[in-house]
Amino acid sequence: MLAAVAFISVLGLLVFGHELGHFLAAKKFGVKVEEFGFGFPPRLFGIKKGDTIYSLNLIPLGGFVKILGEDGEEKGNPRSFAYKKIWQRAIILSAGVLMNIILAIGLASLSYFFGTPTPIDDNENVENAWVQIIHVDKNSPASLAGIKAGDIIMALESEGAIFQDIKKASDFQSFVASHKDQKILIYIKRGQQNFAVEVTPRPEPPSGQGPLGVVLSRIFIKKYSWQRAIYEGAATVFDLLLAIFLGLGYFLWQLIFQTKVVGEVTGPIGIFNLTGQAAQLGFVYLINLTVFLSLNLAVVNIMPFPALDGGRLLFLLIEKIKGRPIKQAVEKIIHSIGFILLLLLMAFITLRDILKIF
């Protein structure tokens, strides 16, 4: 239930924010917005204010805007999108992506202001640090015992030896190393739950793995003043944008030239699992995941691919160079083909997510 609520809330916020960008830009340039819907049809109810119907729809996974002239109609109408100058249309098309970036900066800033979990070295002297598992190897003792990424290590016990209040990763590693091939009780905090699991460290683990098959990180909560939080939030967002662009470029290179999907590309099912895990860890983790997803949505949408905002911007560039727009029927066919290809790619990625589960 928590995973479903988190997924709907995050996805709804991201898509709604994106469409809000288009809506505000269209209004700014005097373009008629026929409908601004929260969620997707069928419509539950709507209120008309001015020329715009503000609707609440049944499927709560984002929103949409219906803009007059977005498909090239009514070119002679000053309130039509098709009537506006190229630079105005370009801003309207780009506004959704810009809104996703602004949303990411705002959320990242809030995270830094209220306190965001930050990795630190064992030799750094801070208060209220803890040791958290950030990765669990498949088929390792930790995995078979039910330990998950995000679990916080509270204490260790083995044959009467107890190590409480674990504050450093080296403390955990030393205890485990000295109790190889012996049963260990690991006291764990997961969300609001506290429990113990029994596990036996391997005396000879596989290459690249430890006795338990976990990767640890020492974490503490870092807070900033609101001025510094905004700066850190913006800096984090632009660092993430660069990383996402580079990652997407590598993904496309592999897809086009090696005809395969590599890495941890994920679809709706994978995002559902991620949001559920983040929600269990805490609200700040869900905020940080939302920042990352918002930037991914921005980057994907700005790509010059048919049916995406970037693809429509590419057609505006061609119109500017040629001095006249491409025939509307041709553009519509190209966008339709692009949309079908995107659906096929999404279906393929979703199938990979399902196979990972089973």
Tell me the catalytic residues.
19
H or E element in which residue 214 lies: strand 214-222
Residue 287 to residues 76, 107, 349, Cα–Cα distance (Å)? 45, 6, 24
How far apart CA 212 and CA 215 sit, in angstroms, is 9
Q: Are 141 and 199 in contact (CB under 8 A)?
A: yes
Q: Per the omega criterion (within 30 degrees of 0), is the bond before 42 cis?
A: yes
Residue 127's contacts (CB-CB under 8 Å, 6 or more residues apart) are 220
Cβ pair 201, 179 in contact under 8 A? yes
Could you write out the DSSP letters of every residue in 57-120?
A: EEEEEEEEEEETTTTS--TT-TTSGGGS-HHHHHHHHHHHHHHHHHHHHHHHHHHHHH-EEEEE
